[in-house]
Structure 1
Amino acid sequence: MIRHDFAAGLLDIRRSVKASSPLIHCITNPISINDCANMVLAAGSRPIMAEHPDEVGEITAMANALCLNLGSITRDRLEAMGISAAIARENNIPMVIDLVGAACSSMRKRYLEDFIPKFKPTVIKGNITEILSTCGIECKSSGVEANRGQLVTGDNAREYGDILGKWATEHNVVLLVSGPKDLITDGRDTYLLSNGVSMMGNITGTGCMLNSLVAAYLPAGNPLGAALLATATFGIAGEMAAKKSDGPGSFHIKLFDEVYNMGEADIITKTKITKL
């Protein structure tokens, strides 16, 4: 169970989104695009999935948050992301970017070296290997999966929090490190979350779905809270879905149901969080 005052802040974000149904512009990959749209809907926001470079600027300008994803990237999508990010930056529209494959692709790494200082995303999300690579810290890549030897654990979380918190402060960003244990920091406050189940690794696109869930909560105006609420909600939904499913197929379906049906009491009583 989390503290009452802390829970109240997260629940305020949730209520704000459900009451206002903000528009979330998602430029994501074709592997997970449908799941990302449905996850945004399950949270109470509204998705729009435009990605043509000739229209994305107009779409982003009318949105309340921008969700970007480097997975299965194409030249057109890279161009579209830059156009949308520029509009978001100009209009103070919060954005989150998922660093899919940043540690295993020199092209994606170069893109981010230009993108992050130019457009200043609100939240940067990735697995530990992708985050370390983007922060210029030595890491070992294994495709788009995190290197298991570098995962965040209870033993190394404070060390990671110190290192990544410094980078987050320098770049004025919230970092969300996803994994079996999730680390979230804005440089001032750092949290370790332990919700979730191993079954989440048996379906494609869970990281992308989490990224879209962060975007769904960003319009409430509390980036750190949005990252914390999204991560807790997604992990709890995974735990609840696993109890009602027989395998990855039924788990996949139940995951959306649990996010949609989650009550405030679930957030309060089931969130496993430690402030470091």
Structure 2
Amino acid sequence: MMNHKFATELLKVRQTIKESRPLIHCITNPISINDCANMVLAAGSRPIMAEHPEEVAEITAIAQTLCLNLGSITRDRLAAMEISAATAKEHNISMVVDLVGAACSSLREKFLADFIPKYGPAVIKGNITEILNTCGIDCHSSGVEANSEQLITRENAAEMAELLGKWAKAHETVLLVSGPRDFITDGEESYLLSNGVPMLGNITGTGCMLNALTASYLPAGSPLKAALLAALVLGIAGEKAAGKSQGPGTFHVNLFDEVFNLLDGDIIARAKIAKL
């Protein structure tokens, strides 16, 4: 169970979003675009999924958060992300970026090497392999999946907090590392979250949904709180959905219902969160 004061702060973020319904501009991949839009809605925000380079500046300018995803990337989507990021920076709009495939593509590596220092995302999300690669640390990549030998565990969490925390602080961002255990750091505070179920890995796009959830909560809270809340909500909703599902098909449907219907009491009682 979470500390009462800390829980109250996170739940206030969630309630504020449901009341204010901010507009979240998502430029994401076609594999998960529908699920990301529905996850934003389930959280209480409003999605807009525009990606044409000639209109994204206008769309970003009226949004409260910009949510980017490098999955299944195209030339036009890369151009749109650059334009939107420049607009977000000009209008002081917070941005979340998902590093999908960053460790297995030189195109994405080069794009991020320029993009991150230039536009300063509030939250950078990825699996451990994508995060390590982007931080310039050897990650032994063999695809878009995380290297299982480098997953963050209770045993190595303190070491990772020091290693990744330095990079996060230097770049003034929050790192959200998704996996069997989620890890979040801004260089000042680091957390290890142990909610979730293996079934979350049996449907496509749950990492993208986590990115979209983080973007949904960002207008009402700090980047650290938005990332923490998103990881807790998705993990706990996944646990509840798995308990009533027969397989990935029913789990997929039930996951959105559980995010939408999740009670504050569920978060308080079921949160498995450790401050490092």
Q: Which runs of 5+ in 2 are unaligned?
A: none
Q: 1:173 offset after TM fit, Å?
A: 0.1
Describe the superposition over 1:99-143 as per-residue Cα deviations: whole angstroms up to 9, x where unpaired: 000000011000000000000000000000000000000111121
What's the counterpart of residue 57 of structure 1? 57
Counterpart of 1:250 in structure 2: which amino acid?
Answer: T
Q: One-letter code of the match for 1:174?
A: V
* Partner deviation per Cα, 1:238-260 (whole Å, 9 max, x = no partner): 00000000000000000000000
Alignment partner, residue 232 of structure 1: 232
Distance 2:265 2:109 in 1: 41
What TM-score comes out, normalization by structure 2 length?
0.99
Which letter does structure 2 place at the counterpart of 1:229? Answer: L
Question: What secondary structure, in the 3-state scheme, does the structure 1 residue paired with 2:145 have?
Answer: coil
Cα deviation for residue 222 of structure 1 reads: 1.1
Q: Which runs of 5+ in 1 are unaligned?
A: none
Alignment of 1:213-252 (within 5 A): 213-252=213-252
Amino acid at match of 2:121: P
The TM-score normalised by the length of structure 1 is 0.99
1:57-206 equivalence runs, <5 A:
57-206=57-206
Distance 2:105 2:181 in 1: 25
* Counterpart-to-counterpart distance in 2, 1:260 and 1:43: 6
Deviations 1:161-208 (A, max 9, x none): 100000000000000000000110000000000000001111000000
| Partner SS, residue 188 of structure 1 | coil
Partner of 1:32: 32
1:258 aligns with 2:247: no
Give the Cα–Cα distance (whole angstroms) in 1 for the partners of residues 3 and 170 of structure 2. Answer: 29
Give the 3-state SS of the residue equivalent to 2:188 in structure 1.
coil
Query: What SS class does the counterpart of residue 177 from structure 1 fall into?
Result: strand
Letter matched to residue 118 of structure 2: K
Distance in 2 between the 1:218 and 1:95 partners?
9
- Aligned Cα RMSD in Å? 0.5
| TM superposition outliers: structure 1 runs of 4+ over 2 Å | none
Q: Which residue of 2 aligns with 1:210?
A: 210
Q: Which amino acid aligns with 2:83?
A: I
> Number of residues paired by the alignment?
276
The letter for the 2-side match of 1:149 is: E
Paired amino acid for 1:248: P
Cα drift, residue 221 of structure 1: 3.4
SS in 2 for 1:73: coil
What's the secondary structure of 1:103's corresponding residue?
coil
Residue aligned with 1:96, SS: strand
